[in-house]
Amino acid sequence: MEDSSGIIQALNGVKPHLDFVRDRWPRFSFDADAFTLAVQYFIHNDTVFQQHVFERKPGREYVQVIPDVMMDTDVLIRHLDHTAGQDKFNEARNYSSEDYSASLGPHGYSLILNHYGLPRNDASTATLPGSEQLGEQNQSDAASLVLTLFINGAAQKIEEVQNKWYKIQNQNQAEAEFIKSGRVEITMAFRLHISSMDSTWQSSLIPARDLSAMDEEFYTTPFRHLSLSPCPHENFALRRNLEHVLSVCSIPISQNGGPGPASDSCPPVALTCGDFAGHRLTTATSL
């Protein structure tokens, strides 16, 4: 994605402040001369949300902070082990129409990038959400990236500008709302999944209700900070580490996959080392 409106240039040299909402979700805050920007990350239903909240500072009525966002579909979709040799799926280039295609979703409310030629019944496709069901049916044939843009919670229509470049069709309404309120939310949502010839149109959209789950998580779900150390920095590090273990490194286990009564209200989980270098689980300490 690129911004030709000069907003990115206005942030040049501005050092972001990093914090974690509820010790879990990363947020980067920027303080520019005329506006502030908060970039919040959130994941729900296999969809990644990247939300940009622009707020105008007092006395800056005429500042423009609605980015002129351009999306480039000249990207590659590959297996995670992209260094493996003789992988024809990873060797494909996006300039070949037989291997890649970019198109608009229903009514232009999403942008879809397809990489064809995904080996059917390939064990490596298990890394993509939904591949288990499609693999059993022997119908998966593409890895698809679906992208939707929201402004103030409303999905925006997307149009093609030139070859492989797309943009929001009409952002005048968002600009008018920002002039009136001095605040605007621009959210990019993207999901990677396996698609087949039998895929329904619903799989080509990211509904606004998935975006609303962010507010529910941040403002409705009960949460309280734990006090694990009298030292503020150590207390934060322990809370952040614990939240990462519980939210990222824990894998739910089927009730039929281990001992315990089926009526147990607390579902079992397996703890793994995950991707966080600050902790390690060994056989002796594993639960």
Cβ neighbours around 151 below 10 Å, total: 20
| Torsion over CA: 82, 41, 13, 55 (sign) | positive
User: Is 14 inside any structural domain?
Assistant: yes
User: Is 52 inside any structural domain?
Assistant: yes
284 shares a domain with 163: no
- Local structure of 224: helix, strand or coil: coil
Domain boundary among 220, 235, 265: 220
Per-residue confidence (pLDDT) for residue 28, from 0 to 100: 95
Range(s) of the domain holding residue 285: 227-287
Please state the φ and ψ torsions of residue 212, each to the nearest 5 degrees.
-65, -20
User: Is 130 inside any structural domain?
Assistant: no
Predicted confidence band of residue 108 (pLDDT cuts 50, 70, 90): very high
161 shares a domain with 65: yes
177 shares a domain with 62: yes
Per-residue confidence (pLDDT) for residue 140, from 0 to 100: 47
* Bigger pLDDT: 136 vs 148: 148
Percent of the chain beyond pLDDT 90?
A: 26
258 shares a domain with 206: no
Per-residue confidence (pLDDT) for residue 117, from 0 to 100: 82
Predicted confidence band of residue 211 (pLDDT cuts 50, 70, 90): very high
46: pLDDT strictly greater than 50 = yes
User: Is 167 inside any structural domain?
Assistant: yes
Predicted confidence band of residue 85 (pLDDT cuts 50, 70, 90): low
64 shares a domain with 27: yes
231 shares a domain with 181: no
155 shares a domain with 273: no
Q: What is the pTM of this model?
A: 0.78
232 shares a domain with 206: no
86: pLDDT strictly greater than 50 = yes
Predicted confidence band of residue 286 (pLDDT cuts 50, 70, 90): very low
152 shares a domain with 216: yes
> Average pLDDT of 87-114?
84
Q: Into how many domains does the chain fold?
A: 2
Question: Whole-number mean pLDDT of the chain?
Answer: 78
- pLDDT tens per residue across span 169-208: 887 777 887 888 889 899 999 999 888 766 666 778 899 9
State how far the Cα of 5 lies from the Cα of 66, in Å rounded to an integer.
8
> Average pLDDT of 253-278?
62
Q: Which amino acid is at 3?
A: D
Q: Which residues pair with 162 in a beta bridge?
A: 165
Question: What's the Cα-to-Cα distance from 229 to each of 19, 221, 234, 246, rounded to whole Å?
Answer: 19, 25, 6, 19
34 shares a domain with 165: yes
